[in-house]
Amino acid sequence: MNHRERGLAPFKRLECDRFPMWFGGAPEVSENIRSLLGAADADEALYDILGIDYKTIRPKYDGKPLEKYSDGTWMTEWGVVRGGAHWGQPLTHPLHGAETVADVEAYKGYPDPDDYITKFTDEEIEWARGYCLVGGSWSPIFHESIELIDMEEFFVKLYTNPAVCEAVIERCFSFNHELDRRVFEQNKGLVDMYFIGNDFGSQRALLMSPDMWRKFYKPYIAKLVAQAKANGCVTAIHSCGDIHDIIGDLIEIGIDAINPVQVSAANMDPVKLVGEYGSDCVFFGGIDEVKFLQFGTEEESRAETRRIIDILGKHGRYIVAASHDYLLPEIPARNIAAMFDEAKKYGCGARGSGP
């Protein structure tokens, strides 16, 4: 069984030699793993030694150079200034105070799909050959919309001025939908998994009521998913936090896999999730990033990996990954490597069988 076959097996309800494994992390994390394993480069460490089954190719910005400022902040493609570690935090909100749909339409800072490279290069195609290829845009339409207006103002406007919020969400959706259309059209048959990210959950509940989510975001996520499905992809969504109240909705609109299964959040107990949705979706993640990978020992990380595989892999529909999609350098490389090494050794066994 090659990486691509293994990566798709949980979606096809097929038994495999072991559960597939996915890695996401900052470049520094990849370098830490490379150094730990004594590999020549990160690819050798992650794919040849650890055995990760997924490779990702995203659209690449190729437009006018974006401003970088002397204080370490930078301008994004959306005209938002960000600052801080790694992805940073939004520091400006260009649609703050927008009161009409005309205000939203008048904004000149929206990104242009023409500024992105969406066709895979021959080198990228060769790099991903034999692996389960993740493609399309990350499509963080929730984050883009709240950053343009300002999170607090956006949540108030959902009630006081929903037309403005709808107009902003529509602009964010249309951009990502068009990027995806180009990816699928220009790389026919190459993308296996469409994996998008929107953090709708907090540690204790959704960031908005389920009904508000269904009104403002569910229809757009459904359209993104439908386009990917029409192009032969399996689909996954990333959302940190407690998203229990909308998992059924996500499955209904065609989401095949739920990531990162943040088991430390309220209502995200893995046993409960398997009992409710284990036959209806692939669980993708769940190995606690903080308690075990960051602060645990190597053996504790291995033990937690086995525990989560036994629970979330009960129906054979599981992808091994941490409970966060983008590991940061404070996570010890030895614990990350231990997680994947243990998952590779532990395999599926009896856990990989069943409907």
Strands (E), 161-203: 193-197
Confidence band, pLDDT 50/70/90 cuts, at residue 355: very low
pLDDT band at 87 (very low <50, low <70, confident <90, very high): confident
Confidence check: pLDDT of 200 > 70? yes
Over range 192-211, report the average pLDDT. 98
Tell me the C-alpha distance between 209 and 223, whole Å: 21
Over residues 265-288, mean pLDDT: 97
Model pLDDT, residue 233:
98
Domains and CATH numbers, the chain: 3-352 (3.20.20.210)
pLDDT of residue 349: 47
pTM of the entire predicted model: 0.96
Q: Is the pLDDT of residue 354 over 90?
A: no
Residue 350 pLDDT > 70: no
Do residues 36 and 333 touch, judged by C-beta distance below 8 A?
yes
Percent residues over pLDDT 70 in the chain: 98
Nearest to 11 by CA among 300, 187, 229, 216: 229
What pLDDT is attached to residue 352? 40
pLDDT digits (tens, 9 = 90+) for 123-153: 999 999 999 999 999 999 999 999 999 999 9
pLDDT of residue 335: 98
pLDDT-above-90 percentage for the chain:
96
| 93 close to 168: Cβ distance less than 8 angstroms | no
pLDDT band at residue 348 using 50, 70 and 90 as cut-offs:
confident
Residue 190: predicted pLDDT = 98
What distance in Å separates the CA atoms of residue 338 and residue 273, rounded to the nearest whole number?
25
For 1-46, what is each residue's pLDDT tens digit? 999 999 999 999 999 999 999 999 999 999 999 999 999 999 999 9
What is the tens place of the pLDDT at every residue in 92-122? Answer: 999 999 999 999 999 999 999 999 999 999 9
What pLDDT score does 351 carry? 44
Which regions of the chain does DSSP assign to beta strands (E)? Answer: 54-57, 60-61, 74-75, 81-83, 89-90, 116-117, 132-135, 193-197, 234-238, 257-259, 282-284, 318-319
Residue 323 has pLDDT above 80, yes or no: yes
Mean pLDDT score across all residues of the chain: 96
